[in-house]
Structure 1
Amino acid sequence: MNYLKSLFIFILAGVFEIGGGYLVWQWLKEGKPIWWGIIGALILALYGVVATWQTANFGRVYAAYGGIFILMALIWAWKVDEFKPDRWDVIGALVAVIGACIIIYMPRK
């Protein structure tokens, strides 16, 4: 699979998972209307579909996705919740992304 296409799928899946989870969180923890939770649940279901578009096997995709998710969650928190990641957050996210790229993109025999 083309690396850019694969990365795009990881990012799209991350937006769906984080966005859907955020809407459910807002409903349950912040008092938003129930329809926020319903839409969030539907978006979370779409995340499950998008993840299947990767060509690698389930375990490898989900292991690698974890690293991408860490970085995306910090970016979401920074841009949406006004959370300011510190240098350790950034270093940890970069280590996770490097690990994810090794898991998913290194050639196999």
Structure 2
Amino acid sequence: MLLILKPLLVYFLAGLCEIGGGYLMWQWLKADRPSWMGAAGAILLLLYGWVATWQLTSFGKTYAVYGGIFIVMSIAWAWYFDGFRPDRFDIIGGIVCFVGIGIILFWPRS
């Protein structure tokens, strides 16, 4: 079970760093928020690059899987923080991404 949970937790942490960092940068540059938000966003984006290296898979596989994680987390972030209401197509797309993540990351290889 740890073989499944550990990479997913690292992907989740990387997602929080990238999406949170991007969001803070967005708030600073587009919503005229204080400059400390931009600085905090930049630090989170740097942390994202570091956290992603904790994965045991290759760079290509790590970023392919993370792409799906990023899509789903972005929809959830927008729903929670920006009041975006995902429609059924957003939900279906997120499920498709999760299926793809499972295949790429966990499907048995011979």
Query: Into which bin does the TM-score normalised by the smaller protein fall?
Result: over 0.9
Aligned identity (percent) is 55
Match of 1:45 in 2: 46
- Deviation of the 1:76 alpha carbon: 0.4
Match of 1:29 in 2: 30
Amino acid at match of 2:61: R
CA distance in 2, matches of 1:101, 1:10: 13
What RMSD over aligned residues (CA atoms) do the two structures have, in Å?
A: 1.0
Pairing 1:29-108 to 2, within 5 Å after superposition: 29-108=30-109
CA distance in 2, matches of 1:48, 1:71: 19
CA distance in 1, matches of 2:6, 2:38: 30
CA distance in 2, matches of 1:34, 1:101: 39
Corresponding pairs, count: 109
Structure 2, gaps ≥5 residues long:
none
After TM superposition, the score normalised by the length of structure 2 is: 0.95
- Deviation of the 1:17 alpha carbon: 0.5
- Deviation of the 1:80 alpha carbon: 0.6
After TM superposition, the score normalised by the length of structure 1 is: 0.96
CA distance in 2, matches of 1:66, 1:106: 17
